[in-house]
Structure 1
Amino acid sequence: MTVQFEDSYSRKFYYLRLSITDVCNFRCTYCLPDGYKPAHKNSGFLSIDELKRVVSAFAHCGTSKVRITGGEPSLRKDFTDILSMISSQEGIEKVAMTTNGYRLAKHAQSWRDAGLTNLNVSVDSLDARMFHQITGENKFREVMAGIDAAFDAGFEQVKVNAVLLKDLNSSELPAFLRWIKDKPIQLRFIELMQTGDMNSLFEKHHQSGVSIRNHLIANGWLMKVRERSDGPAEVFCHPDYVGEIGLIMPYKKDFCDSCNRLRVSALGKLHMCLFGDYGVELRDLLQEDKQEVELIARIQGQLADKKQSHFLDQGHTGMTPHLASIGG
């Protein structure tokens, strides 16, 4: 290991969220309600060689977990090759992806064979009509079949992401709890976050996860100890349930104290935070293997400017127009 990536608040970074495309084929109300529209004119998304140099630099500096994000990452034709490349990097112990699940039933086994170790699938409702309303796509049954296929392929646990939306899916907690009673699913409720394009939606549908947290604690759920490469969820388990519940509450006090992750966009920009004000260009240092020392130095230099908080609770949304733009 060359040097451990660390910021001025002594936070160490074991976790890289690597976007490989900002294209998505769903039209979720909280992200891309009008569908995907290209917002850039350049030479395209990072190539597999450029992605390899990103991962190599992070692995040499203590990162052990890479999450592949989008957009919808499986839209890349070379997605399986990207999985194989990342999983073969020395020091990388976990290769995760976040997906809308529409290709999962067909490819779960090949993705696992290529080195995928952890899987997050977005399921915002267990009601097919509400799922359609939120995602803009009538793909509920295909996504659920994909989760079954993931278990058949040997994934011991599947994480399921549901964005908590007041007056849409906020009454579905009992149904979700029944679903995970006998299934090794970690269901993660994610608070709706305010982004540049979504002010009115946020005002109408934001709901705090605190009420769910209080309900869980009152009903015998216990919080699990967090591991160093875990994401930001508070995870709860119950002796009567095979599944788990996770809560991601970015408006909670001190949410950023345990930050352990950095982001690189599909266009090769380093982002200190999902809600940061700028991205740092890395692509010029991703053209040759011999540039790694300089690449690491640039990343480490930028960590000195990483802020203590995202300041979401103060109404700050940064430069992020929507969650697909730099990998959610």
Structure 2
Amino acid sequence: MTKINISDQNAHGKAPTDTLNQPNSLQDSWGRQFRYLRLSLTDVCNMRCTYCLPDGYQRTHNEQFLTSAEVTNIVRAFARLGTRKIRLTGGEPSLRQDLPQIIEDCKATSGITQVAVTTNGLKLARLLDDWKAAGLDQINISVDSLTADSFALITGHDRLSQLLGDIDQALADQWTLKVNAVLLRGQNDRELPAFLNWLRDRPLTLRFIELMRTNDNADYYQQHHLRGAVWMQQLMQQGWQELPRSEDSGPAREFWHPNYAGRIGFILPYAPSFCASCNRLRVSARGDLHLCLFTEQGHSLRDLLQSPEQLPQLQQRLQQLLHLKAEQHPLLLEQSGGNRHFAAIGG
């Protein structure tokens, strides 16, 4: 476990705010409140996306993933400290057979108002009924291209037609959906008109995510990085208007247009002000707290996850660790931290 060394100053030399005097909150040294937890259930994935796992998933450790009981204890501790939204991620969380029970347990936790799942959608149709019965509120699905050949090239699966059909069925069933597309120069960079046409009659949020550098994709990043601000400016010139952020919003800047049923979001991690609105923390499938997607290492919580009686100590550790959170991520300095790939800590 990473040792905690709390001093009178943080890593930037500035005096931190006294978060430990606020027993029921998660607030860092910069005054940011954290009400949103991204909780990974596995780092296994059944896709081979070129920007994440181009060679497929290869296990590099022998640790067991979090049990459902450990997940419950994490969620309870975060909820007691003001977290209201839980996003269950991976890898691919649908590979966990106990996912419906985990969803139900999260929804039953006092203080949690929203539970979401991020999935690649390969098993979507067969799982929707179980997820609805468990109380799931929202689903995020990855669709990086609307062209069958490009989709297969990016993901390693020729399943676009099935996935789009499953999305339409989920919309017909009144699900709240977000669709994620990683912007990739040379692969989907000419598809903005197709995405807009697809969105016109579909009441979902389509989010374009700027490709981020990790330790495994430096060459790929140089070849395929596309600035999302270029597309965002085009849409603003076409009359798209930005929406105000809500308290539990993710990192996207969202836009609406009166002629479209759906909305568009942009996640632009290289924007200078990106970290100012950070409101989310991450726990990996091995029980490590990650203060940022691009930190050098996680901080183990697992020794405090074995019993509900340990919740006070777990809450205290979470508050202490927040003193170590930096003001911004190091991507602007061309540093990607210890993150090998996004499947390892839930993206």
Alignment-derived partner of residue 242 in structure 1: 261
How far has the Cα of 1:310 moved from its partner? Answer: 0.6
Matches within 5 A, 1:261-272: 261-272=280-291
Matches within 5 A, 1:234-313: 234-313=253-332
**Residue 87 (str. 1) matches residue 116 (str. 2):** no
Show structure 1 runs of 4+ deviating over 4 A.
none
How far has the Cα of 1:149 moved from its partner? Answer: 2.7
Q: What is the identity, as a one-letter code, of the residue corresponding to 1:136?
A: G
8 A Cα contact 1:109 1:150, kept in partner: no
Alignment-derived partner of residue 47 in structure 2: 26
**Residue 108 (str. 1) matches residue 128 (str. 2):** yes
Q: What is the identity, as a one-letter code, of the residue corresponding to 2:143?
A: V
Matches within 5 A, 1:1-328: 2-42=23-63, 44-155=64-175, 157-328=176-347
Distance of 1:227 and 1:272 partners within structure 2? 21
Local SS of the residue matching 1:132:
helix
Local SS of the residue matching 1:4:
coil
How far has the Cα of 1:172 moved from its partner? Answer: 0.2
Unaligned runs of 5+ in 1: none
8 A Cα contact 1:108 1:153, kept in partner: no
Distance of 1:257 and 1:200 partners within structure 2? 29
Distance of 1:180 and 1:154 partners within structure 2? 16
8 A Cα contact 2:40 2:89, kept in partner: yes
Local SS of the residue matching 1:304:
helix
Q: What is the identity, as a one-letter code, of the residue corresponding to 1:127?
A: T
Local SS of the residue matching 2:178:
strand
Distance of 2:23 and 2:30 partners within structure 1? 20
Q: What is the identity, as a one-letter code, of the residue corresponding to 2:147?
A: D
Q: What is the identity, as a one-letter code, of the residue corresponding to 1:238?
A: H
8 A Cα contact 1:112 1:153, kept in partner: no
How far has the Cα of 1:2 moved from its partner? Answer: 4.7
> Please, what TM-score do these two structures have when normalized by structure 1?
0.98
Unaligned runs of 5+ in 2: 1-21
Distance of 2:45 and 2:232 partners within structure 1? 31
How far has the Cα of 1:145 moved from its partner? Answer: 2.3
Distance of 2:259 and 2:87 partners within structure 1? 30
Q: What is the identity, as a one-letter code, of the residue corresponding to 2:128?
A: A
How far has the Cα of 1:141 moved from its partner? Answer: 2.0
8 A Cα contact 2:330 2:337, kept in partner: no
8 A Cα contact 1:105 1:145, kept in partner: no
Q: What is the identity, as a one-letter code, of the residue corresponding to 2:192?
A: L
Local SS of the residue matching 2:150:
helix
Local SS of the residue matching 1:178:
helix
* 1:59-98: CA deviation from partner (whole Å, max 9, x where unpaired): 0000000000000000001111111111111111110111
Local SS of the residue matching 1:273:
coil
* 1:22-68: CA deviation from partner (whole Å, max 9, x where unpaired): 000000000000000011112x1000000000000000000000000
Local SS of the residue matching 1:168:
coil
> Please, what TM-score do these two structures have when normalized by structure 2?
0.93
Distance of 1:153 and 1:179 partners within structure 2? 18
Q: What is the identity, as a one-letter code, of the residue corresponding to 1:248?
A: I
How far has the Cα of 1:3 moved from its partner? Answer: 1.2
Identity rate, percent:
48
How far has the Cα of 1:153 moved from its partner? Answer: 3.0
Local SS of the residue matching 1:278:
coil
Aligned CA RMSD, in angstroms, stands at 1.0
Q: What is the identity, as a one-letter code, of the residue corresponding to 1:28?
A: C
Distance of 2:241 and 2:147 partners within structure 1? 28
8 A Cα contact 1:108 1:149, kept in partner: no
Q: Which moved more, 1:78-87 or 1:18-27?
A: 78-87
Distance of 2:173 and 2:127 partners within structure 1? 9
Query: How many positions carry a matched residue from both structures?
Result: 326
